[in-house]
Amino acid sequence: MNAPAETRKFEAEVAQVLHLVTHSLYSHKEIFLRELISNASDACDKLRFESIANPELSAGDSELHIDVSWDPDARTVTVRDNGIGMTRDEVVANIGTIASSGTRRFLEAMSGEQKADARLIGQFGVGFYSAFVVADKVTVLTRRADAPESEGVKWESDGKGEYSLEQVDEPLRGTAVILHLKADEDEFLKRWQLRSLITRYSDHVAFPIRMPKEKDDKPTDEFETINAASALWTKPKSEISDEDYQSFYKSLGHDFNDALAWTHNRVEGSQSFTTLLYLPSQPPFDLMMGGRDERKGLKLYIKRVFIMDAAEELLPNYLRFVRGVVDADDLPLNVSREILQHNRQLERIKAACVKRVLDLIEKLAKDEPEKFATFYKAFGNTLKEGISEDANNRERIAKLLRFASTKGDGTSQTTSLDDYIGRMAVGQDAIWYITADSYASAFGSPQLEAFKAKGIEVLLMSDRIDEWMIGSLSEYDGKKLKSVAKGEVPLDEADKKKQEEATKEAEPLLKKLKELLGDRVGEVKVSARLTDSPSCLALSDYEMAPHLARLLREAGQDMPESKPTLEINPQHALVKRVETEADEAKARDLATLLLEQAEISAGAQLPDPAAFVQRMNRVLLG
């Protein structure tokens, strides 16, 4: 006996998604068909995979397909598949709730000041809800392939906060989504319109998409296949146009934008496989936080049979923005995620994918600088993660990185390490850089003064990841990378002599400053870095930059307290004032301000901002 129907409320976030989708995507109404067909294709893929171990699942209906039909009298459009289907619990989980970790980001993006963008759909597992853009009621009939006919499920909602759930007899395996169209959506009751949308967005879905033939403007019971129904990546490249590649990318990546570039390769030999890999032109919103598993990274096929989305197994994390497919000939069809993690053949495929992606990015950098600039703006920081994660390709990745520079074009990150080396002065043996939490902080840092005075170029690294990344990039092309804020500044013999004389002359002042500052500093020294500013901090070669330490503390991490080295410019008027000040309290205020302004310039957090303000006021008032 079937369980009685019940009415449930959507989760609060689902209700928000429904409201935003139905009120914001009017300019891209046709997106619903692409999304429902993609979901149907996923269901067919899953059945085909599960049927490898359990052939009974597809018994009696082994030809997987997707049917799109319309009924002018009932004003309905139906998308039906004979794929895996869903149980009652799966319906509730997949439609009544949203499990995606990126949902809140989606809601923020859709409800922000910028106009909602249809490319957000699909990247958060919310594609099904686009049906409500054109329908005022949606009915779902579904039965899982291994469930009896009596355990079918009927889901129905008008998208206004509630849905009904009912157990029904369902003779057909798979899922049918029935859209009851709104009064002003007659265009989707025309066969030619539905067919043109399928051709535009779903032609390369690897399952037959069928539509009823038409007679006297009415659908008949006879179906015909209207898409190419072949895996694009299996065709020779000579038979695939750029338009075909872009169309497949948009279907694969759920993106309205064109791909920036792609690479399509077939490897033959002891291990044979095909790769089709795309670089998006804009970062997916779920790039940094994960998202719906079925829509992330690369899809793995074995002999055209979909196995899983295996981004972690097929590409390293720093290339997670890449979309595409890998189709292997030699992996066992019953492969599981656990086996994948320890499969040597897959490691070779992964290495090949990494090589192809880096080859593609290098080609952009060399031949299409405008496209490379677009890529780097979107994914440069993600690529930097590879410096720490991929030691085998560290040099290749480093070659692709771009930075702002004291000899560059303002804030633009256009200087490569090779550019820098090409401009190095005779005798210079290091690549100099500075890290900070903004371009302005980096460019204006007092630690740069001596380098600017000598005409030595310095790379200005102001992205949050830079200080962490540079810890794994100690050398490039035989040249050491050195921070202008760490260690000793290189001096010629004449400069060394001047430095020694200045230090000897300033010994009483250094001693006085150390006594005034006490435990707040580890050491006070005469600086070789400063020409105009009174003071700066100097770090040891292995000490973390203050701005990064501050960020980590704000994130809740315990950071060891370190006593900085204060470097001073004895010729500066403020330093001379400390030297001549007889009042100990005033001298202590001045000395402390020397330290605190150095800390602020370095991005450190003042231990007591209120005391700093009071001290500054006392000095200003004399």
Per-residue pLDDT, 373: 96
Per-residue pLDDT, 26: 52
Lowest mean pLDDT among 1-5, 332-336, 381-385, 480-484: 332-336
Within 13 Å and on the Cβ side, how many CA atoms surround 421? Answer: 13
Instruction: Please check the confidence at residue 530 and state whether its pLDDT lies above 50.
Output: yes
Give dist(CA 140, CA 154) in Å, integer.
6
The residues with which 317 forms a beta bridge, in sequence order, are none
Per-residue pLDDT, 101: 35
Mean pLDDT score across all residues of the chain = 85
Give dist(CA 569, CA 526) in Å, integer.
6
Lowest mean pLDDT among 188-197, 280-289, 424-433, 515-524: 280-289
Burial code of 164-198, b = ≥16 C-beta within 10 A, e = fewer?
ebbbeebebbbbbbbbbbbeebeebbebeebbebb
Chain centre to alpha carbon of residue 526: 45
> Is 211 labelled a binding residue?
no
> Is 478 labelled a binding residue?
no
Cβ partners under 8 Å of residue 101, min gap 6: 286, 289, 290, 291
> Is 175 labelled a binding residue?
yes
> Is 193 labelled a binding residue?
no
Give dist(CA 452, CA 224) in Å, integer.
72
Number of CB atoms found within 10 A of residue 243's CB: 9
Residue owning tokens 């990064």: 548
> Is 521 labelled a binding residue?
no
Average pLDDT over residues 284-305: 59
Q: What is the pTM of this model?
A: 0.73
Per-residue pLDDT, 98: 46
The pair of structure tokens assigned to 556 is 């809740």
Lowest mean pLDDT among 12-21, 83-92, 250-259, 598-607: 12-21
Per-residue pLDDT, 108: 55
Give dist(CA 356, CA 351) in Å, integer.
9
Its CATH architecture, for the domain 402-483, is 3-Layer(aba) Sandwich (3.40)
The residues with which 141 forms a beta bridge, in sequence order, are 154, 176
- Percentage of residues in the chain having pLDDT higher than 90: 55
> Is 86 labelled a binding residue?
yes
> Is 94 labelled a binding residue?
yes
Q: Residue 355's pLDDT band (boundaries 50, 70, 90)? A: very high
> Is 16 labelled a binding residue?
no
Taking Cα atoms as reference points, which of 302, 92, 121, 82 lies closest to residue 201?
A: 121
Domain 493-621 grouped into CATH 1.20.120.790? yes
Give dist(CA 155, CA 138) in Å, integer.
8
Taking Cα atoms as reference points, which of 404, 449, 406, 456 lies closest to residue 426?
A: 456
The pair of structure tokens assigned to 571 is 């010729």
Give dist(CA 401, CA 414) in Å, integer.
9
> Is 246 labelled a binding residue?
no
Give dist(CA 7, CA 162) in Å, integer.
7
The pair of structure tokens assigned to 232 is 């694009």
Give dist(CA 157, CA 135) in Å, integer.
10
Per-residue pLDDT, 124: 36
pLDDT digits (tens, 9 = 90+) for 558-581: 766 778 899 999 999 999 999 999
Number of CB atoms found within 10 A of residue 41's CB: 21
Average pLDDT over residues 60-88: 94
Per-residue pLDDT, 204: 77
Domain locations in the chain as residue ranges: 14-225, 232-369, 402-483, 493-621
Per-residue pLDDT, 14: 67
> Is 174 labelled a binding residue?
no
Classify 232-369 by CATH class: alpha beta
Give dist(CA 278, CA 266) in Å, integer.
15
Per-residue pLDDT, 593: 94
Kindly calculate the radius of gyration of the chain based on its CA atoms and give it in whole angstroms.
Answer: 32
Average pLDDT over residues 495-517: 93
Cβ partners under 8 Å of residue 507, min gap 6: none
Instruction: Please check the confidence at residue 293 and state whether its pLDDT lies above 50.
Output: no
Four-way CATH pick for 14-225: 3.40.50.300, 3.30.160.40, 3.30.565.10, 3.40.50.20: 3.30.565.10
Instruction: Please check the confidence at residue 339 and state whether its pLDDT lies above 80.
Output: no
Per-residue pLDDT, 120: 41
Per-residue pLDDT, 121: 42
Q: Residue 52's pLDDT band (boundaries 50, 70, 90)? A: confident
CA distances from 211 to 130, 189, 227, 373, 496 (A): 21, 13, 10, 44, 84
> Is 461 labelled a binding residue?
no
> Is 337 labelled a binding residue?
yes
